[in-house]
């Protein structure tokens, strides 16, 4: 008995001795935090965000961490051409401001990001500085994918659509602005061929990522790392009276039953192109609707998703509104891939995302995009 006790004690001491508890305490060091992105064949379109970190014990509000007096510049490594940024809001920097002169505006518009080139972002604040480098993807080529037939859970077999994904090839930044400002007028004036897909509800169509695909997109996945997809609903802000519903207990004296989107008992103005669904399955996948101060529901626009494999199936989850959709497929730089390979959404508080900012946090990345238009229509069977 004594032998077994000594034997077990010996091995316990051996295990404890072999485990090192000499953990090094990390010393906090304040860092700059920068987020920035540039897109091939376009001038700079996004603001650069600059802030600082804060120690856990520091008594400071999050909006006090923005930095408004930094020096921010973008450098083309091949030409050494510099584009300066100016503070335009709390922690926001952009190459032009409301007071910029004509020459500054012309210089900004002439600074077009070149595919395949390398750019440096330099941010300096007091004695701190960070530098990040990104290599712009040289191309982004997409094709329509033929996905064949889809078998629904109830056994129904439905064909999938093949759409035109080249109706906005070579569109300029000025034309994009015109399209966003008036999609119907721009499409008509320029005779753009836009295909239509139908958004349908039910177990076959709105249940999961494996639901019926409206269409498919293909690309050479071996040539890219992460593809970012943006779905921008061009008619998201269109307003009108809440739609009629003959089965609703909410009654309008003039029109009868209606969908009371904002729960006020009145048939009034809402975002009429919003795809509205309050079923449990829909809420699990999409979450609750954000609401305005008047309780009017809406969705964040544009919708964003990351993919790596092709072909990709475009189903209900990609759309939050009916009407014209500007879909953008962005081939992203290695820095974007590395950042999202870390922990950018903070699921592990002890693991930082992989930043490409020397001695800083955040990410500076670049992309090259292909865009096309598609129209999402309501299912006539519901009306």
Question: d(Cα 50, Cα 73) in Å, to the nearest integer?
Answer: 12
CATH class held by domain 32-136? mainly beta
Reported pTM: 0.81
- Residue pointed to by tokens 């003959």: 246
For residue 383, the model assigns a pLDDT of 45
First to last CA, the chain: 84
- DSSP for 265-309, written as a single string: SS--EEETTB-----HHHHHHH-PPPB-TT--B---SSEEEEE-S
Q: Provide the 3-class DSSP secondary structure of residue 26.
A: coil
Whose tokens are 């595919």? That residue is 115
User: One digit per residue, pLDDT tens: the chain, 383 residues?
Assistant: 565 555 555 555 555 444 555 555 567 788 999 999 999 999 999 999 999 998 888 888 889 999 999 999 999 999 999 999 999 999 999 999 999 999 999 999 999 999 999 999 999 999 899 999 999 999 999 999 999 999 999 999 999 999 999 999 988 888 988 999 999 999 999 999 999 999 999 999 998 888 999 999 999 888 888 899 999 999 999 999 888 876 677 777 677 788 888 888 888 889 999 998 888 888 888 889 999 998 999 999 999 998 888 899 999 999 999 999 999 999 999 999 888 876 555 556 556 778 999 889 999 999 999 999 999 999 876 54
Contact 125, 82 (CB under 8 A): no
Q: Which pLDDT score is estimated for 317?
A: 94
- Alpha carbon distance 26, 344 (integer Å): 21
d(CA 36, CA 170): 24
**Among candidate residues 78, 80, 111, the one with its CA nearest the CA of residue 94:** 111
- Tell which phi-psi region holds residue 98, choosing left (phi > 0), alpha (psi between -120 and 50) or beta: alpha
DSSP letter (8 states) at residue 363: E
The DSSP line for 168-224 is TTT--HHHHHHHHH-HHHHHHHTT---EEEE---STTTSSSTTSPPSEEEE--GGG-
C-alpha 204/C-alpha 198 separation (Å) is: 13
Q: Give the Cα-Cα-Cα angle 113, 359, 353 (nearest 5 degrees).
A: 75
Output the six-digit token pair for 81: 């051409």
Distance from C-alpha of 358 to C-alpha of 133, rounded to nearest angstrom: 9
Positive or negative torsion for Cα 236, 238, 239, 245? negative
* Strand, coil or helix: 374: strand
Residue 232 Cα distances to 182, 202, 319, 368, angstroms: 14, 24, 9, 17
> Which pLDDT does position 4 carry in this prediction?
59
Three-state DSSP at 114 gives coil
* pLDDT value for 19: 53
Token readout for 271 is 């975002």
CATH 2.60.40 domain extents, the chain: 32-136
Is the Cβ–Cβ distance between 18 and 345 less than 8 Å? Answer: no
What's the rounded Cα separation, in Å, for the pair 247 and 239? Answer: 23
């Amino acid at each position: 008995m004594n032998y077994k006790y000594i034997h077990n004690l010996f091995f316990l001491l051996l295990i404890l001795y072999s485990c090192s508890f000499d953990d090094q305490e990390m010393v906090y060091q304040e860092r700059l935090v920068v987020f920035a992105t540039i897109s091939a064949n376009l001038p700079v379109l996004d603001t650069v965000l600059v802030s600082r970190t804060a120690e856990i014990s520091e008594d400071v509000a999050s909006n006090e961490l923005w930095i408004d007096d930094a020096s921010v510049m973008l450098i083309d490594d091949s030409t050494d051409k510099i584009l300066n940024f100016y503070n335009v809001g709390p922690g926001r920097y952009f190459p032009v401001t409301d007071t910029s002169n004509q020459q500054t505006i012309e210089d900004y518009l002439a600074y077009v990001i070149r595919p395949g080139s390398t750019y440096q972002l330099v941010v300096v604040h007091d004695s701190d500085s960070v530098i990040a480098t990104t290599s712009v993807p040289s191309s982004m080529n997409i094709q329509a994918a033929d996905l064949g037939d889809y078998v629904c859970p109830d056994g129904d077999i439905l064909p999938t659509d093949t759409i035109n994904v080249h109706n906005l090839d070579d569109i300029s930044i000025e034309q994009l602005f015109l399209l966003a400002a008036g999609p119907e007028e721009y499409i008509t004036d320029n005779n753009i061929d836009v295909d239509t897909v139908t958004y349908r509800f039910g177990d076959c169509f709105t249940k999961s990522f494996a639901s019926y695909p409206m269409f498919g997109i293909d690309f050479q996945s071996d040539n890219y790392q992460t593809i970012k997809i943006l779905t921008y609903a061009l008619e998201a802000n269109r307003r009108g009276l809440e739609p009629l519903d003959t089965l609703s207990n909410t009654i309008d004296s003039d029109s009868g039953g209606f969908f009371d989107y904002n729960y006020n008992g009145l048939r009034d103005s809402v975002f009429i192109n919003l795809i509205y669904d309050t079923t449990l399955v829909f809420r699990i996948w999409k979450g609750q609707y954000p609401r305005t101060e008047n309780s009017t529901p809406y969705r964040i626009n544009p919708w964003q998703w990351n993919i790596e494999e092709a072909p990709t199936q475009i189903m209900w989850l990609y759309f939050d509104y009916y009407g014209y959709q500007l879909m953008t497929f962005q081939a992203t730089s290695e820095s974007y891939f590395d950042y999202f390979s870390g922990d950018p959404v903070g699921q592990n508080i002890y693991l930082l995302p992989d930043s490409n900012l020397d001695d800083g946090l955040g990410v500076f990345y670049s992309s090259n995009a292909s865009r096309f238009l598609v129209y999402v229509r309501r299912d006539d069977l519901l009306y």
